[in-house]
Each structure stands twice: as C-alpha cells, then as structure tokens.
Structure 1
Amino acid sequence: MLRFWITLIPFCIFASAQVHIPHDSAVTQQAFKYVHGDLTFATASQIDISKEPWTSKYGPQNDLGYSGPLSFSHFDYKRCLEDASVPFDIGIIGFPFDTTTSYRPGARFGPSAIRSGSRRQSLGKGRGYTLAWGSSPSDYGSSLLDCGDVPISAYDNAKAIDQMEAAYSTLLSRPVFGGTSEVYKEKTRTFSRDGKEHPRIVTLGGDHTIVLPILRALNKVYGPVSVIHFDAHLDTWPPRGTTVQEGITHGSFFAVAAEEGLLTNTSIHAGIRCKMFGIEDMEHDDTVGFQVISTEDIDDYGIKRVIEKIRQRIGNQPVYLSLDIDVVDPGQAPATGTPEVGGWTTREVKRILRGLSGLNFVGADIVEVAPAYDNADITGIAAADIVHDFLSMMLVDGPPEPHVGPFSKIDLLL
C-alpha cells in the first residue's frame, strides 16, 4: 500500500500543476521560451529597462575591477572551440593541465589564477596604457578575445596532449578578424606555409609540457620555429622511463620536440639556474638547438646585452616565446611547481620582454603558475602583468623608446 502512494503522489502534484497553469496563456508560453542551456526568460521585449530604478538612476551595469565574469583583463569571452561566431586576431586560451610535473602539482589552476590576477588591468575596458610601453595593446587595432579553457583529461596524458594539439590547431585555423581600425598590421602572413594571416594565441598554463602540443600545432602552419624560453630549468633532458608517454614530461618536452623536427637550431634559454647532473646536460642541450643565458649573466653583462644576444640568436625566424613563471625569483613569485632561488625580478623580466618587441612572434605562453602555493595572489598578478606585456610585445614594430620625464637621450650615454 505504501508503494502505491509513493507512486501516486508525483502524478497528483503534476496534475495539480497542470490545473493551475493554463497551457495556452501568453504568460506561460513566454516564461518557458528559452534557449537550451540558457535559463534567461525572454522578457526583454516586455520590459523597458531604461525606466527601471537602476538604469534610470545609474545607467549600464558596468563591471568593476573586482567584479564580473572571470575573463582575462575583462576581455570579451567566448568558448571559441564550440563558438566560431567571433573572429579574433589574438586569442587567450587556458590549458589547465599539470599531470606531467616532477615535483609540486597544481598548475591546472593556473589559468584561473592568472585571469583573477588580471582583473584590475581592465584592458578589455580600455585601461591598458603604461609609461613603460608608451601605449596600450588596444591601440594597434587587433581584435582581442578570451577563448576560455580547453577541457583537458586529468587521467590520460596521451589523450590530454592530443586534446591540446587539437584545440590549438582549431584556433590557428580560424580566420583572423583583420583589425578593428586602420592601424592594424598583419604579422604572420609572410612566413606562414599557406601564405595566409593566422591568429596568434597566448596560452595560460598549465605545466610546461603544454608547449609540445603547441609546437606540433604551430609546425603545421609555420614549419620549425625558434623558441625563446624563459625558465630556471633547461627542459631539454632526454626522455626517460619504460613507456613513450612516461618520457614526455615538463622537463623533457623540448627534447621530444627537437626529435620530431619542430624546432630550428636557433633557440635560446634565458634565466637558467637549476641543479644539473653535470656538464653533459649542457652538451645535450646544445644538440637540441639552444644557447643558454644564465641568471647570473644579467649581473655580469647587463640587461641590454641579454636583450641583444637573444635578438641576434633569433634574427628574422618565426619565434615562439614560452615563459615559466619560475624564471622569476620565488621571493616574488612563490606559486610554482619547482621553485629555484636566485631568479630574476619581475621588473627585469618585463624589461627584457620590451626589448624583444618586433621579433616575428607566432605565439606565447606563461606556465607553471600553481596558486595553491601563492601568497596574497602575487604570482597570479605578476603572471597577468607579463601577459599584458606579451600582447604589446607581439603588436608593436620594435622596442619602445625609454620614458623621458626629466631625462634626455644624453642621460642614456652617461
């Protein structure tokens, strides 16, 4: 008998609802008119928001620096892999992946932490001018879009790497927007294999292994590319392990990329200071195609010489820039998987990036931000500011002139 009433009660409730809600009423039809997956009622045509208390007194519902949806620097946001309705010239994409780390995991939360660190920048709302650049990334006519995160497997690394390559290839194959104003300039057509302009992607990692699928995707469009690699570690160690997949880690991906013919022989490291097995690590690194600028070189030769040597090494080659946040000293960026003391300051890194402007960048990434180890979000904020520099660096034709203020060019010679 109890089973009978348990079965009957839901039918009684449903029947009661049918009695009290007439199917043919305009209100009911309007209330239930919504797009699949969108619970917003279609009431805009019935409500004049200009006469409502909020809009009539205060105007639009603008986001503050600390409010609104979490997109990078308040950019427009689309899930670009499933929505191709908005073309772009430079896209932001998140690769939340960290299952090939050798020490501390947690970089799967990096994209979210970097976006959170970018909130105050508000570049998407027009606040992007800095004295260091003398401009804003929005001044150069490119359409900038946050494309969301790739849903990457956390259980199967082979699948995850394939997912990242497929996602990156998808975005690279999209048509560019072609600029928002007459100041827009094409940057990739002259060295792409198909003679077409392609979007450029700034990737938020994720551990450093994400660069392997990125290089595989870039190779289809540009062929082998040079790499500028900011890191405390070489990441060119030979693959080790008993399976192919075990050999692909955030410390070996460049060696794998070289074996696959994805790199030129003109790549360069910047900021190296890690412990090694011996000089044989450096000798192997050379065979992969890299030169090394160590952390200490900035003290011995100065920032200008560091910039000069990087530019000489790369020349006019298509170049990809990959920046591991651990190139920065952990005193300023503690939230990373493999911290090494004695790193560069954020100011030094930012100064070098400005000096690299005008090279033929086909893309960039920032990786190994693991916010569980952060303090007051300082690593996420630093990473977000570096991404802001990436955008300017990729758009301008050359390094910006030094800020003048009370100085002159004569002061640079003293």
Structure 2
Amino acid sequence: MSEELSATDTSAMLTPRYAEIATFLRAPLAGDWSAVDIGLFGIPYDGGITNRAGARHGPRAIRDASSLMRMIHHVTRFNPYEVCRVADLGDVRFRSVYDHETVMADIAAFAGRAHQAGMRPFAVGGDHSVSLGLLRAAAERHGPLGLVHVDAHTDTWDQFHGSKFMHATPFRRAVEEGLIDPKRSIQIGIRGAQNSPEGWEYSREQGMRVMFIEEAQDLGPAAVAAEARRVVGEGKVYLSFDIDGLDPVYAPGTGTPEAGGLSIHEAQRFLRALDGLDFIGADLVEVAPPFDVGDLTSLSAATLIYEILCIMAGRYAA
C-alpha cells in the first residue's frame, strides 16, 4: 500500500451484524470522495426491464445481505481493507426516473464524479441497462475498454418494442458508441433459447468472444479465466456481472432466469483467477428481491461483490 493511502476504518465491521446502518460489505459511508479508492454505490433502477420488474430493490437488499461478509479471504488470506480505502457512496439519485435517457445521464454523471475523484467505481444495480451509463463515464476517462461480461445473455440486441435502451441492449450501444473494444471483450455463460439469434450473431460479428455455458463448464473456471485474460490483454478492463449468469438454484431472484448456469463456486473461482487485471470499474446487476427465496440471491450477490472487491483491491497491494 502506498504511503499516502490509509486503510479503511473497519471498526463498524466488528459490531454485531444486525447493528449500524446497512452499507455495502459494511464499509463506511463516504464523506470525502477524494479519500476513497474503491467506491461502492447503488443504482435503484429497473426501467429497462422487459418482463419481471424488481431490480430497483436490489441495492437495498444486497446491502442488508452483505452484512454477512467478513474481511479476510478464506483462500488467499487477503484483506482488501488493509490495502485500500473502500466506502459506500450511497445511491444514484435521478432527476426523472421515468425518462430512461435522463437516468443514463444521471448514472454517467455520478460515476464520472467517482472517476474524477480518482477512485474505481463499483456499481450495484438495478437492471443491466445501467451498464451503458457506467461505461460512458469510464470510457470518457480511460478511453475504449476491454470487457469481461458474465451473463446468461449477450445483451447485444438492437431494440425491444421500439426501444434501443433497455436491459438487453447496453453492450450493443457500448460498441456503437466506442465505449468498449469488441475485440477485447468476452461474454461468458451465455445460454437459453431465443426467438432470434440476433444478439449472439452481433457479438461475434463485432469480434467479441462469446463463450456459451457448455464451453465454460467443459473448460472449468481456471481455463475460462485464462481465456478472458488472453482476450482482454494488458489494458484497462471493465467487469460486468449479471446475477443471472448463475444458475437459478443460486439466484432465483432475477428478472430473466435461465436454467443450467454457473454455480456460485464456479463463479467465485473464476473471479479469483482474474486477479491482476486492471479493472477500473465494475457492476453487479439484475438482483430482483421480489422473486428471491430466503434472500439467497442477495447473499450470492454480496458474496460475488466481495470476490470482485478483492481482485480490484489487489491493484493497491503492490
């Protein structure tokens, strides 16, 4: 850890888990954004959903479930809070929650402030449409990015019932706007029958590496991570994890569940194997608490958020 950094105040993490204000991973609430290295924040928005709404409630439920997380990783013995300053930035506030383009602008402005403050923003949604606003902010600061995208769906369809801005289109818009480099992008866990192959074909035509679930499970987490490393290379990378990348057994509370997905253990091992990549931002999306069972999806989400935090914090350990 560099001399100018001080570790996160973890005193509140040692109180009973049912105490204190619920924050992501029990991190302190941010005051001075310039004193934060990794900023977690919520995006309570699901105006881009095509069917089962409820992801707007995701950030609040995940904050509560994340009180079960602890500090030291059981495999690596790494404590992210010792090497960098982690804080909860609160939620994006919307000027007009029924206007999707205004919502994207609000998300981009919030994430842009985080980038300008020198931190690595980590957003918790919300539906997957929010990734477009987040990528706009990240690319404005860092240029076109590599992408590691875990999902049941490519989210590269062109439109749905006349709208080009919804949760199945963010990465097509991101390619069109030059926010991501499709040749440095990989989509992992893709599955489920579709009425049109449009999304799969667009991703491949643009040069994105599309890894269907059968290939991912045949290879195993370590080989999948090695392929992700090969695709994204040494440059700056963005990580987007849709909770429906997991099998519904581990994440029933989501808008578009698809059977036959990753296990939580496969996802954890895959994420750990990405350690060392330069993730300048991340999101975890599509947790819909109204469809959850026993808070299982929120717990899975909180667990993956901790894993992602560890690999993001690893950049500060040198």
Q: Which structure 2 residues correspond to residues 6-405 of structure 1 after superposition, within 5 A? A: 63-78=15-30, 84=32, 87-121=35-69, 127-140=70-83, 142-152=84-94, 153-174=96-117, 198-242=118-162, 246-264=163-181, 265-396=183-314
- The runs of at least 4 aligned residues of structure 1 exceeding 4 Å deviation read none
Letter in 1 for 2:167: H
Q: Using CA pairs below 8 Å that are at least 6 residues apart, which structure has the higher relative contact order?
A: 2
Larger proportion of strand: 2
Q: 5+ unaligned residues in a row in structure 1: which ranges?
A: 1-59, 122-126, 175-197, 399-414
Contact kept, 8 Å, 1:66 with 1:120, in 2: the verdict is no
Measure how far apart 1:86 and its partner are. 5.8
Query: How has the CA–CA distance of structure 1 residues 110 and 171 changed in structure 2, closer, same or farther, with 3 Å as cutoff?
Result: same
How far, CA to CA, are the matches of 1:159 and 1:277 in structure 2?
Answer: 30
Measure how far apart 1:280 and its partner are. 4.7
Quick check: which has more Rg, 1 or 2? Answer: 1
Secondary structure of 2:57 counterpart: helix
Query: How has the CA–CA distance of structure 1 residues 104 and 241 changed in structure 2, closer, same or farther, with 3 Å as cutoff?
Result: closer
Aligned length: 302
Contact kept, 8 Å, 1:94 with 1:111, in 2: the verdict is yes
Contact kept, 8 Å, 1:70 with 1:116, in 2: the verdict is yes
Letter in 2 for 1:263: I
TM-score by length of 1: 0.70
- 1:387-406 Cα shifts (integer Å, max 9, x gaps): 111111112269xxxxxxxx
Secondary structure of 1:247 counterpart: coil
RMSD of aligned alpha carbons:
1.8
How far, CA to CA, are the matches of 2:28 and 2:18 in structure 1?
Answer: 16
Structure 1 vs Structure 2: percent identity of aligned residues? 36
Secondary structure of 1:132 counterpart: coil
Query: How has the CA–CA distance of structure 1 residues 118 and 281 changed in structure 2, closer, same or farther, with 3 Å as cutoff?
Result: closer
- 1:93-121 Cα shifts (integer Å, max 9, x gaps): 11111011111111111111111111122
Query: How has the CA–CA distance of structure 1 residues 220 and 299 changed in structure 2, closer, same or farther, with 3 Å as cutoff?
Result: closer
Measure how far apart 1:241 and its partner are. 4.7
- 1:35-82 Cα shifts (integer Å, max 9, x gaps): xxxxxxxxxxxxxxxxxxxxxxxxx9x74111210111221113xxxx
- 1:121-168 Cα shifts (integer Å, max 9, x gaps): 2xxxxx41122222111232x111100111223321121111111111
